[in-house]
Structure 1
């Protein structure tokens, strides 16, 4: 048995759906979305802020604001027609999967276009360009951040500043011909961080090979530091490629690739105690379970 929601019309002779364009998206918490749906004629600041995005154009196309809920797939499309409440509204059940798909396709298009053009791994795309070329800019940040090609993304005042992993950027130096058989034959398999944890590392700093970061000091790290849950949660960091180990600005430094810089920073901060007590106890072995004493929690 399949369940959904619908608004029924009594004795409707025929459906008359209108062509619509979603100009903007507003995502509400479950409680705010419930209040919005139960008080549709109340004035809303988020509608007032986007009055210019909602109108009926000369071709009869309805331009509106899509209101999503964080906890459900249902949505409401709003055309306020110059007012600060939902003067014209349409209920759209199970609509979030469609939105997620479209946002994912937009993110793929941006990444495909910019990785082919960048010559240094960096690319900036303005919110105006996103609006002009791709329509809806909201929700793109998470979709872009989740991409394997993106090393780091920073939302600026009027743009996204994106840094890509260089192996996805064919115009970057040293990338041409890297997939040739000769190149593969000359490249030794990379050593993973997890491969080196049979040795106890003290006062270690994890450095990203492309993105400048300020790592927290890992007091001790070896194969007994993490619990099984911790190894699972941080598998991407443990599987990072170790490029070199050296004494640098921070002391003992390990340069890693194949992992996001933000994840390296989060991993180091977690081991330094900058996380919730619940997460620390879940991911890091208790002092009695490993030879060394865990760092003091910093809350």
Structure 2
């Protein structure tokens, strides 16, 4: 299943936030969305999962206009893990993850054996089985993020949208979560803050700056010293890691920038 944004534009109070943005996530690709704070990453994702409605342009889920599909149909195929965790009532972890099964059931239908098994698998995959009886409000920020990922897994969607999925996680759980997402072989688009995480896990990367796509391609093509200076205003040495074969960045203070430029 594929996901695509075509020529999306969006404004808030006459301020243009997105300028004819187009991105394409092919089936089973993990595509990263990077850019400075305020570049429009979250706004783009919210337009792509229908929380916001674009002024112009189209979002295609499996080549069908997402605005012409029912909410239930979309929920069966697309799951979202947002930056916020807006839970109005204090559910247990198990109950919250079980809500991922809602699109697959009729109104007022109770959970069946299959639903319980899928929820248990989602808890196990995300490493939070030991938390299933805990109240959601009692969890740390990182634990809450993993609960929301588990709910998305219980939803069994084929397309996953992640907005800063590694926020509030320590490095061990960042890597465990990204390893998990990579092994699911879903169609994934993720807004990422850590450029080394993006380099390590993404098949393709799109770079947003001031609401426009300024570059896209493989991590090797996109993550260059020139782009980092022009978009993120930082200096970095970029090498290919001998074990992963992926680019890795070492940030360098400005006073050493000449040495970076000469390398």
The TM-score normalised by the length of structure 2 is 0.24
Structure possessing the higher relative contact order (Cα contacts under 8 Å, 6 or more residues apart) = 2
- The structure number with the bigger radius of gyration is 1
TM-score (norm 1): 0.22
